Amino acid sequence: MIDDYGFGSMTVMGENHRNDLKIIDREIVGNWWRKEGHALYAEDIDDILYSGSEVLVVGTGAYGNMQVTEEAARAIKGRGIELVAVPTKEAVTIFNTLHHQGKKVAGAFHLTC
């Protein structure tokens, strides 16, 4: 599903994106902005929390600078969603593997730092 990732750019199903994005049920939500640039809050992923996803893979940036807040982690786990938060390059590999295994996986990807 994710074809390629490099600093500041991700290609998903042949479509190039240059801003942070989410993937929910094969739908791309582009130009994703968060409440705070390098922090992930529950309100930033409300759509994912109510999507019925089994796993949420968070790409924390090329250098892992985006942090998942405790509040977001509690909300994710409270919905019964497994959380994987790793630098974006690794997140892409995990996301694609889970997708190919048939898991109901959502992704939230910070593309830069």
**pLDDT tens-digit series, residues 55-90:** 999 999 999 999 999 999 999 999 999 999 999 999
Cβ-proximal residues to 109 (8 Å cutoff; 6+ apart), any chain: 5, 10, 20, 21, 22, 23, 58, 59, 88, 91, 92
The answer, as to whether pTM is greater than 0.75, is yes
Q: Where are the beta strands (DSSP E) in 7-80?
A: 9-12, 15-17, 21-24, 27-29, 39-40, 55-60, 67-68
Write down the pLDDT at residue 37: 85
Per-residue model confidence as pLDDT tens digits over 1-13: 999 999 999 999 9
The domain ranges of the chain are 2-110
Return the CATH fold of 2-110: Hypothetical Protein Mth938; Chain: A, (3.40.1230)
